[in-house]
Amino acid sequence: MTQARNYLAIDLGAESGRTIVGSLDDKQLTLTETHRFANGPVRLNDGLHWDVLRLWSDIKEGIGRSKEIESIGLDTWAIDFALLDKNNSLLSNPFHYRDARTDGMIDEAFKRLPRAEIFSNTGIQFMQINTLYQLLAMSIQRSPLFDVAKTFVTIPDLFNYWLSGELTNEFTNATTTQCFDPRKRDWATPVLDAMEIPAHLFKPVTDPGTRIGTLLPSLAEETGAGAVPIILPACHDTGSAVVAVPAKNQDFAWLSSGTWSIMGAEVHEPSLSAKALEYNFTNEGGVFGTWRLSKNIMGLWLVQECRREWMRQGEEMSFDALTQLAAESEAFMSVVDPDVGEFIHPGDMPYRIQKFCADTNQRVPQTKGQIVRVVLESIALKYRLVLERLEELTGKRFDPLHIIGGGTKNKLLNQFAADSTGRTVVAGPVEATAIGNILMQSIGMKHLGSLVDAREVVRASFEPEIYEPNRKADWDEAYARLQKVMK
């Protein structure tokens, strides 16, 4: 019997953050949550921001509550960033990717560089929230920050600097920015130059699994953690989550389910084909030479925003209660495209969903249950579309579909996913991001040997839930309606 080793995962999502200690003992991993805290946007006069200083306070509190840890790894959402001055001080509070400053920026980018050329240089799907378009908005507005900034860091790079004093641009997060060339494994200078974004801000990238230093002495004393090593996991949360897919072979499709749904496959070379461009797929860096060929789907954001709007109206309901109302509501009343631009920004989501249905000459859902049912069915139908295109791009048929992340708690959506795609769904683990983070730390500390070893730990430690498909003709009819409203 070996002594258990404890690793601390700092896992920051778009809705909440948490610190989780993973104890690894004889290839059995157990998790203990030591701190959980809210995350979300803060609106100021100039737009929508993240409250990174409050997050930093919660990170330190989580470290202080976590005892006898051997290392620390941090992951966050992708795309957002900070700029540092010559003293490596934060120049301004980072913007939130749902801020409206990126409205119209994709069209502006195409005036400077054709769509196909941007894709060939970056391999990233076109979404207005991407880092590239946030930076382009700054360029067009002649932001004075560009005059004094010396270093670009993504959000996990910022926190890793505050933890360790070491400046890095971690690979998996860098690849999501649409500013990085996957073939050269370096920043896409031609794209940056075309957008008049200062290329000197972007520093060399560091691979996941790298030990970058130790907890700064002042933090070691403040938190009581000591000089703990800081390890880069896959700092992009989806990158860490895919590490924790309990697949037995390499030919699997995965779906990270949460605020965003992201569906993809693990591949060994980026796909930069004309079809990948046409289907707007993305190539994001993974661990140990892998790439995530994938596509974002709006996901449970729509339900979260509906719930927030109903709460603003004084009607408090849990997600479980809303899901139960959806299960009891009429099937296939209407369909929406979860990824239309109207659904990106915070606001009155129930009204926007109803308006979409009215504008596309469909029945308009009225009750909370009807609205949530339309959303969940539509997300599952979009899963089918993306899976079919993923299989076309890879030339493979994927069965089962592995669903990981917090969204696996929504059993109704899991069953809809199986029914819509016609594939067996293997759901779990729920805390895939934290698990992948912890296992990458263990590899970085040389306590585990490989990605194969890490996935063996997942299979030995967490029991998945299985959902068998029960596709009926009405799913096919609804799928045809989705394709029609997407045109």
- Region 130-157: mean pLDDT is 98
- Region 61-86: mean pLDDT is 97
At 20, the pLDDT band (50, 70, 90 cuts) reads very high
Q: In the predicted model, is pLDDT for residue 348 greater than 90?
A: yes
Q: Out of 94-98, 321-325, 469-473, which region has the weakest mean confidence (pLDDT)?
A: 469-473
- Region 437-447: mean pLDDT is 97
**Token duo for residue 309:** 């709007």
Q: In the predicted model, is pLDDT for residue 260 greater than 50?
A: yes
Contacts of 29 (CB under 8 A, 6+ apart): 22, 23, 435, 438, 439, 457, 458, 461, 462
pLDDT attached to residue 250 = 76
Q: In the predicted model, is pLDDT for residue 33 greater than 50?
A: yes
Q: In the predicted model, is pLDDT for residue 135 greater than 80?
A: yes
At 487, the pLDDT band (50, 70, 90 cuts) reads confident
Give the pLDDT confidence of 445-480 residue by residue, as tens digits: 999 999 999 999 999 999 999 999 997 789 999 999
Q: Is 91 exposed, middle or buried (0-12, 13-18, 19+ CB in 10 A)?
A: middle
At 2, the pLDDT band (50, 70, 90 cuts) reads low
- CA–CA separation, 30 vs 22, rounded Å? 6
Q: In the predicted model, is pLDDT for residue 307 greater than 60?
A: yes
Q: In the predicted model, is pLDDT for residue 1 greater than 70?
A: no
Q: In the predicted model, is pLDDT for residue 251 greater than 90?
A: no
Helix (H) or strand (E) holding 133: helix 131-140
Percent of the chain clearing pLDDT 90 (strictly above):
97
The pTM of this model reads 0.95
- CA–CA separation, 260 vs 77, rounded Å? 10
List, by residue number, the catalytic residues.
237
pLDDT attached to residue 114 = 98
Contacts of 17 (CB under 8 A, 6+ apart): 10, 11, 36, 37, 38, 39, 55, 58, 59, 62
Q: In the predicted model, is pLDDT for residue 78 greater than 50?
A: yes
CA 306 to chain centre: 20
- CA–CA separation, 372 vs 368, rounded Å? 6
- Region 341-362: mean pLDDT is 97
For 46, 83, 144, 201, 280, the CA distances from 138, given in Å and listed in that order, are 12, 12, 9, 14, 25
Domains for the chain: give ranges and CATH numbers. 5-231 (3.30.420.40), 245-428+449-487 (3.30.420.40)
Phi-psi region of 426 (alpha: psi -120 to 50; beta: other; left: phi over 0): beta
Percent of the chain clearing pLDDT 70 (strictly above):
100
Instruction: Tell me which DSSP letter residue 39 carries.
Output: -
Mean pLDDT across the chain: 97
